[in-house]
Structure 1
Amino acid sequence: MSTGISGLDDILGGGLFNGEVYLVRGGPGTGKTTLGTHFLTAGACGGESVLWITLSEPEVKLHQHAGRQGFDLRDVTFLDLSPTAEVFAETSTYDIFASANVERDPLTQRIIDQMDTLQPSRVFIDSMTQFRYLSTDAFQFRKQTLAFLRFLTDRGATVLVTSEGTPEIPDDDLQFICDGVFNLANAPEGRHVHVSKFRGSGFRSGDHTIRLGQHGMTVFPRLVPEGQRHEFVSEPLSSGVPELDELLHGGLEQGTISIITGPTGAGKTTLGAQFIKEAAGRGINAIIYSFEEGINTLKTRCEAINIPIGAMAERGTLSLSQVEPLRYTPDEFAYEARRDIEREDRRIVMIDSISGYSLAMHGRDLISHLHALSMYLKSLGITVLLINEVETVTGEFRATDVGVSYLADNVVFLRHLEINGEMRKAIGVLKKRAGNFEKTLRELEITRYGLKVGQPLSGLRGILSGTPEFIDPE
């Protein structure tokens, strides 16, 4: 049974089991009622009879809130048990009976009557915390709750209940009673959901991003790479620059992960775009995710050096996507990327850059998310180009500053050099799992005709320091 939220169904391996009880926990404003609205409207759209039992907010307000999010509740039946304004004005007091005992019996009878009349397949109760106040002690609450939920499920209903547990009034008893527990939270790094219990089936663990908007709740499951389904293609992806292909012994193998690393201004993005240009000429579709540079700026400077990415985009062989990292969480970006890549059959993905991607982490673990995304794409046989910027322009050589080089099948590095008072660039290969590579360094120039790679710099030493010295040939 679908929850009405595709991302949550994905986390649960398909959805909910019929005839069971599920608990939605969370503080105020975390989306508990919104999730329940999705649950009921999904059933109503499928022709099911559905029942909303509300004990806190009146029906008219629920209609107003749902309407703002685009929900249609016309086919949802409400049982409004929320207190009315008249309750405050009542002068009668309960001198003989406790108020809980007086109020509970009429509520119970109204629920029984509604269930017998409607016979719903889905029931949403918002919230079970209100029933706690109608019980004299914890034992009575547990006993009455078990009986109540069994009454609902015995009549064929799948039940979703919310809880407003606090440290002072915990809801551990409800967690034990229910068949599944969904925890909603609104943390500083963003909203998320995690499933702590789901009887009878596995589920995707961890925190998964939630976004609440004009169309309700969207859940972005955390990407977990599955088993390897594709190996890299032995045919290498040529750069179109003969000297660079010599350096790589043919190019980069398709279906591998490559890190192009170097300091600012060394030509990392240009080098990645060069590989994409050559692939497009062979009919291989690609996509560039730019976290730092505007698309128009990227087009202008690439076309100025004979890499016509604008024309490639018009033909459909290249898709350009500008990403605002502070707007996305890593789960949202992975979801969008997965949808774009699979829908458009993109075989090369370039992420420019890891530094920009890290801004989307909001304090989360960069390495684990980048690992999941990269390995997932690799499992589909997609060639991944990761652009990485190192902070040091010269001095001690480091492949990356964030410890992600283990991910790469190939590491191509760029370096600034100072030779005779002039700034130059060098390119080399640090790692290539799928084959051999040239161990020398070559000079790199970016000209209006494209990339130009020179002969090996065999007459210099100390190149990786950025301040090389000429070797005395003697």
Structure 2
Amino acid sequence: MTATSGVSNKAKTGIVGLDNVLVGGLVRNRLYLLEGSPGTGKTTVALQFLLDGARLGERTLYITLSETDEELRDGAASHGWELDDSITIFEVIPPESLLDANQQQTLLYSSDLELGETTRQIFDAVDRVKPTRIVLDSLSEIRLLAGSSLRYRRQILALKHYFARHATTVLMLDDLTADSLDKTVHSVAHGVIRLEELAPDYGAQRRRLRVIKYRGQHFRGGHHDYTIERGGVQVFPRLVSLEHKTGFHRERLVSGIEQLDTLLGGGIEKGSSTLVLGPAGTGKSIFTLQYVLAAAARGESAAVFVFDEELGLLFERTRQLGFDLGGLRASGQLLIEQIDAAELSPGEFAHKVRALVDEHAVKTVVIDSLNGYQAAMPQENSLVLHVHELLQYLNRQGATSFLTVAQHGLVGDTQTPVDVTYLADTVILLRYFEAAGRVRRAISVVKKRAGVHEDTIREYRIGRSGLSIGSPLVGFQGVLRGIPTFVGDETELDVNGAHEPAP
């Protein structure tokens, strides 16, 4: 496929995300097919298509064979739209003689008469209104009246040629109730858009669309998530990181904790991604929030997306550690949002992140945690691809991203639910270990693409003064296994029998 020289010859659909997928909209004076099962939002998309035309002063026509005028207006009202005289609604009603059993023809099937009468009514309406945009709802009725695939194809071709002579852009709707395997219109239409609805085992339904065909035009392939809310359909185009490149000066960002910055070889590079791994309760969120505080100290804005913890509890818990998240939120430096994985699709989440980065110049992004993000994904392979594109996009915008992953198990053999360590530029590993009857926490940096880092293991504590990190644990072996062996000098132990970190 080749892209056209411009988009001035395209009719926008009235849905920003869909126009983005179609790279400008629908080429004018062509016939298109919008198909999907009942409830996928075909009528809503069709109304938005006509409303956008009416906004531009174009004459529009909605030909309905399945819904009544009242039903269409009620549906529009539910979105806050009023269908005025700029949109003509034409109901195709079979003549009364065809509904009267006493008037049925014996030598000619009534379906033949009704199909011919239906076509005549459609042609008369187009001649009378002379519209620029037409919606025909739905093809299932015409398919049933045609009876055979041959007659159905001929009827569609007749409609196509008639509409072409009148220079109209036509959107035909098909609810796939008559024959979902019939591809007759696919070969006739200039473009085909399919709407799908998925029902996960738990949570709200997920909707996605795909452009199956678009003759001679470039478009964004693959599936794109969308939602139906008051105000219409909102489409979230699949994020392609290569399309978003910006130049920025790379520099090292410090956390505000000297020992942590030393462990990381001087800090974390701007425009890089950091993955914080560890069992539940090791303080993964605290480590990422430390960089949020550091961003605020530099006068930058930060965004935090919380999947697992209730915001009120997070604010109270961190306040006791000296983190004033509420104050940062009130000042506008912190944009924090609770994410419900059961209600949000991955495409919509990526759209939220991108909107904050683009509109609020956010330079620090925290996703806590990837376990919650995974719950929004249908399968693990999709999660890795989504995370890859999202991290690459953030990196190219000069935003520094932090992700947390909760590992299964507490000590010893811990398991990671999904391996994305190869995607991150820096990987920080947090561990519990037991020493002299006490549970301790240890931190190590196992990967850093840019520059060198310490290969030591340090103990850290989380107290009322926040996060404190000690000197390297040189007297222990097996810390990462959870049950270390002390091989150092006894003078290195504190009174409780464990290595004492620096305050």
TM-score of the superposition, structure 2-length normalised? 0.89
Match of 1:101 in 2: 112
- Offset at residue 21 of structure 1 (A): 1.0
Deviation string 1:422-462 (CA, Å, 9 cap, x unpaired) is: 11111110000001000001110112222111111111111
Match of 2:166 in 1: 155
What SS does the corresponding residue of 1:66 show, helix, strand or coil? helix
Match of 2:289 in 1: 273
Q: Which amino acid in the other structure matches residue 139 of structure 2?
A: M
* Whole-angstrom CA distance in 1 between matches of 2:49 and 2:445: 53
What SS does the corresponding residue of 2:289 show, helix, strand or coil? helix
* Whole-angstrom CA distance in 1 between matches of 2:447 and 2:150: 65
Match of 2:487 in 1: 471
In structure 2, the CA distance between the partners of 1:425 and 1:21, relative to structure 1 (3 Å rule), is same
* Whole-angstrom CA distance in 1 between matches of 2:427 and 2:341: 25
* Whole-angstrom CA distance in 1 between matches of 2:453 and 2:410: 25
* Whole-angstrom CA distance in 2 between matches of 1:421 and 1:407: 37
1:188 aligns with 2:205: no
Q: Contact 1:193 / 1:210 at 8 angstroms: preserved in 2? A: yes
* Whole-angstrom CA distance in 2 between matches of 1:461 and 1:406: 26
Structure 1 unaligned regions, length at least 5: none
Structure 2 unaligned regions, length at least 5: 1-10, 201-205, 491-503
2:373 to 319, 343, 357: 357
Structure 1 stretch displaced more, 208-217 or 352-361? 208-217
In structure 2, the CA distance between the partners of 1:359 and 1:299, relative to structure 1 (3 Å rule), is same
Q: Contact 1:292 / 1:356 at 8 angstroms: preserved in 2? A: yes
Match of 1:390 in 2: 407
* Whole-angstrom CA distance in 2 between matches of 1:228 and 1:21: 33
Structure 1 stretch displaced more, 124-133 or 243-252? 124-133
Structure 1 stretch displaced more, 282-291 or 23-32? 23-32
Aligned pairs (5 A) from 1:289-368? 289-363=305-379, 365-368=382-385
* Whole-angstrom CA distance in 2 between matches of 1:180 and 1:23: 6
* Whole-angstrom CA distance in 2 between matches of 1:373 and 1:27: 31
* Whole-angstrom CA distance in 2 between matches of 1:228 and 1:434: 22
1:451 aligns with 2:467: yes
1:235 to 251, 269, 284: 251
Q: Contact 2:239 / 2:350 at 8 angstroms: preserved in 1? A: yes
Aligned pairs (5 A) from 1:90-239? 91-135=102-146, 137-165=148-176, 168=179, 170-189=181-200, 190-227=206-243, 229-230=245-246, 233-239=249-255
Q: Which amino acid in the other structure matches residue 386 of structure 1?
A: L
1:64 aligns with 2:64: no
* Whole-angstrom CA distance in 1 between matches of 2:264 and 2:366: 19
- Offset at residue 83 of structure 1 (A): 3.9
In structure 2, the CA distance between the partners of 1:85 and 1:390, relative to structure 1 (3 Å rule), is farther
* Whole-angstrom CA distance in 1 between matches of 2:291 and 2:185: 57
- Offset at residue 153 of structure 1 (A): 2.0
* Whole-angstrom CA distance in 1 between matches of 2:469 and 2:69: 71
- Offset at residue 279 of structure 1 (A): 1.6
Deviation string 1:135-177 (CA, Å, 9 cap, x unpaired) is: 3632232223212112112211000001233585633110110
Match of 1:28 in 2: 38
1:13 aligns with 2:30: no
Q: Which amino acid in the other structure matches residue 80 of structure 1?
A: E
Over the matched positions of the two proteins, sequence identity in percent amounts to: 36
Q: Contact 1:418 / 1:424 at 8 angstroms: preserved in 2? A: yes
- Offset at residue 214 of structure 1 (A): 2.6
* Whole-angstrom CA distance in 1 between matches of 2:440 and 2:411: 12
Match of 2:493 in 1: none
Q: Contact 2:140 / 2:177 at 8 angstroms: preserved in 1? A: no
* Whole-angstrom CA distance in 2 between matches of 1:136 and 1:469: 81
- Offset at residue 335 of structure 1 (A): 1.3
Q: Contact 2:94 / 2:117 at 8 angstroms: preserved in 1? A: no
Structure 1 stretch displaced more, 221-230 or 242-251? 221-230
1:372 to 375, 389, 393: 389
Q: Contact 1:329 / 1:362 at 8 angstroms: preserved in 2? A: no
Q: Which amino acid in the other structure matches residue 353 of structure 2?
A: A
2:54 to 35, 44, 51: 44
* Whole-angstrom CA distance in 2 between matches of 1:89 and 1:140: 25
Q: Contact 1:425 / 1:443 at 8 angstroms: preserved in 2? A: yes
What SS does the corresponding residue of 1:223 show, helix, strand or coil? coil
* Whole-angstrom CA distance in 2 between matches of 1:427 and 1:201: 53
* Whole-angstrom CA distance in 1 between matches of 2:149 and 2:291: 67
- What is the root-mean-square deviation of aligned Cα atoms in Å? 2.1
* Whole-angstrom CA distance in 1 between matches of 2:417 and 2:438: 26
Match of 1:288 in 2: 304
Q: Give runs of ≥4 in structure 1 deviating > 6 Å.
A: none
Structure 1 stretch displaced more, 364-373 or 25-34? 364-373
What SS does the corresponding residue of 2:242 show, helix, strand or coil? coil
In structure 2, the CA distance between the partners of 1:247 and 1:124, relative to structure 1 (3 Å rule), is same
What SS does the corresponding residue of 2:251 show, helix, strand or coil? strand
Q: Which amino acid in the other structure matches residue 187 of structure 1?
A: L
* Whole-angstrom CA distance in 1 between matches of 2:461 and 2:146: 79
- Offset at residue 375 of structure 1 (A): 1.7
Q: Contact 1:53 / 1:123 at 8 angstroms: preserved in 2? A: yes
What SS does the corresponding residue of 1:229 show, helix, strand or coil? coil
Q: Which amino acid in the other structure matches residue 372 of structure 2?
A: G
Q: Contact 1:41 / 1:72 at 8 angstroms: preserved in 2? A: no
1:77 aligns with 2:94: no
- Offset at residue 266 of structure 1 (A): 0.8
What SS does the corresponding residue of 1:392 show, helix, strand or coil? coil
Q: Which amino acid in the other structure matches residue 249 of structure 1?
A: G
